[in-house]
Homo-oligomer: A and B are copies of this chain.
Amino acid sequence: MAGRLYLVPAWLSEDAPVESVLPTTVLERIRTLNDFVVEDAKSARRFLTACGHPGPMRDVAMKELNEHTAARDVPDLLEAVRAGRDVGLLSEAGVPAVADPGSLLVAAAHAEGIAVVPLSGPSSIVLALMASGLEGQRFRFLGYLPADASERTKAILELEKRSARERETQVFIETPYRNDALFASLLESCRPGTRIAIAVDLTGPEESVRMQAVEAWRRKPATIGKRPATFLLLA
């Protein structure tokens, strides 16, 4: 009989205890698993150790699934499940299969009739949305905006228009070292009344979530720095 594919959430901040973001029974489940498909093996070992996994880590089987994995190699990652073992899918931060390539493995599991069990944990997208005060009944997550400045401006103008038309909060992320460039583009391109929220270092010691209209941000612009950030916009 096949095992199950557990979707294991990870921490968002390594500076906070896992007990502040993961339920007790999820931690207990993690400690029973000895086969994982992970985005990055090194950070996975650090996370499992923090969860009190009995280890030793060299005996925990870890296969990587990330942007370097070819789609045709994904079904092979289910070998341990087919052999009857429960396997955990683990992202580098937050919940797996959202904003990472893990959904390919989940789709492969469904195609084989393998049971998929999602476990509760922190999602930066949802935590940022909750705390933003922006429209939570309609929202859209669109990953990264273009890195090129003029392309980015074009994308911002389009999503602002769309947000206004559909009354839909737009949620997006950026590589930390580009946070402040993205923020500057937003303040430059958006209408004064458009509301922008920035959630920084969620669940971590320096967590902050701020939301105000573009005109208010312009009066006293903030610096985000190279910290994990989620951006939200409602026009």
Contact = CB atoms under 8 A, between A and B. Distances in A.
Interface in A188-222: 197, 202-203, 207, 209-212
A133 B106 contact: yes
B120 A132 contact: no
Interface string A123-145: 10111111111111111111100
| Protomer copies | 2
A202 B109 CA distance: 18
Closest 7 CB pairs of A and B: A107-B133, A106-B133, A118-B131, A98-B136, A140-B140, A20-B25, A120-B122
Interface in A10-35: 17, 19-26
Contacts of A139: 98, 140-141
Given A23-B22, A23-B23, A143-B138, A133 B121 contact: no
B103 A136 contact: yes
A99 interface: yes
Given A103-B134, A106-B130, A110-B133, A118 B20 contact: no
A95 interface: yes
Given A96-B130, A97-B136, A103-B135, 5 more contacts: A20-B120, A22-B23, A103-B134, A116-B209, A117-B207
Contacts of A138: 141-143
A174 interface: no
Band of interface residues on A = 35 or more
A168 interface: yes
A102 B136 contact: yes
Contacts of A20: 23-26, 120
A174 B137 CA distance: 13
- Interface centre among A19, A97, A130, A203, by most chain B C-beta atoms within 10 angstroms, is A130
Interface in A153-188: 168
A64 interface: no
Contacts of A118: 127-128, 130-131, 202, 209
